Amino acid sequence: MQANLPKYDYDIVIIGGGPAGYTAGIYAARAGLKTLLIEGAGTVSQITITDIIENYPGIPDGIGGFELMQLFKKQALKFGLESLPRDVTAVKKSSAAEVIWEVTAGDKIYKTLCIIAATGAMWRNLGVPGESEFAGKGVSYCATCDGPFYRNRDVVVVGGGDTAIQEALFLTHFAKRVIVIHRRDRLRAAGMLQKRAFAEKKIEFIWNATVEEITGPEFVTGVKVKNANTGVISEIAADGAFIFVGRLPYTEMFKGLVEMDKTGFLVTDEHLRTNADGIFAAGDCRAKLFRQVVTAAGDGANAVHSAELYIDEIKGQTY
């Protein structure tokens, strides 16, 4: 480190303890970068509540989400990553030096040359009875993850946007029947997706309806649906309920610092750089089309590579 470089605690602070965060931790620590990963004390990665993951390369028999994250963490700590269970409450530029970022977690401020935002996102819930009770037991927020479990079965998809219709189309590769329930009388999805969905014989639509309850003894056996025009409630038999009514990213701490899209996801370039020098984003918190464990891990590795180039540039400058 050059003597004239402002004092700081870490080369990289990673915010978030999911697949993107811990992959970034593995790559950063292994590269010899002094790195701290802060994983939320009050939030958990969505992967940890996933019962089984069957599509992660190299694990042909599948693995529980919590178990997989423990392996990520063990590998990162092996390379010397520091990990801290705290909720980050503030991120700001240091008043002492423009190249330093300050991350507040708990009662401490950590000074760093760069930040990798890997804060993740959560699916927006319907908030109806049975939803949380049957999570992982017929209620799913990821057709790519869970679709193969519903071969030759009837499932419902709740939502009418791009994601809902894309996932409904994907489910037709497995399910016998896919029933799309939408609260309006028309879809919000892109025209091409609508055209494909309307042409698909396995997909049926229930318009002007809302899901009031998800039912079943131990696993989902149906959903109760309310007609918005008549108020009549009816029950639809189904083995699974796939809910796609939006995602909520954990990006509040970056408001005013980093460019976001209209729903709050962090905008990056292909190198995972945000518009704020020294802040990179990886995983589900960034604006992108496809969100899987494997893509989050790839993001984490790419973000560290870009951060390392940035750090080399900073350390080569004179202040």
- Domains belonging to the chain, first-starting first, are 10-122+247-315 (3.50.50.60), 125-243 (3.50.50.60)
Q: Are 244 and 159 in contact (CB under 8 A)?
A: yes
Of 146, 154, 284, 299, which one is the catalytic site residue?
146
Examine the pLDDT at 148 and tell me if it is beyond 60.
yes
| Cα distance between residue 94 and residue 113, in whole Å | 10
Which residue in this structure is represented by tokens 């977690």?
A: 105
Neighbours of 305 (CB within 10 A): 17
Element (H, E) at 296: helix 293-315
Examine the pLDDT at 269 and tell me if it is beyond 80.
yes
- Check residue 266 and report its DSSP letter: B
Of 11, 114, 145, 239, which one is the catalytic site residue?
145
* Annotated catalytic residue 269: no
What confidence tens digit (pLDDT) does each residue in 41-94 have? Answer: 656 566 765 667 878 899 999 888 889 999 999 999 999 999 999 999 999 999
The three-class DSSP label of residue 182 is coil
* Annotated catalytic residue 61: no
Q: Which residues contact 206 (CB under 8 A, 6 or more apart)?
A: 179, 180, 181, 182, 225, 236
What confidence tens digit (pLDDT) does each residue in 176-200 have? Answer: 999 999 999 999 888 988 999 999 9
Q: Classify residue 225 by burial, with Cβ atoms within 10 Å: 0-12, 13-18, 19+.
A: buried
* Annotated catalytic residue 142: yes
| Cα distance between residue 115 and residue 62, in whole Å | 32
- Check residue 202 and report its DSSP letter: T
Of 9, 51, 87, 142, which one is the catalytic site residue?
142
| Cα distance between residue 45 and residue 49, in whole Å | 8
Q: Which residues contact 105 (CB under 8 A, 6 or more apart)?
A: 38, 84, 86, 87, 88, 89
What confidence tens digit (pLDDT) does each residue in 109-125 have? Answer: 999 999 999 999 888 89
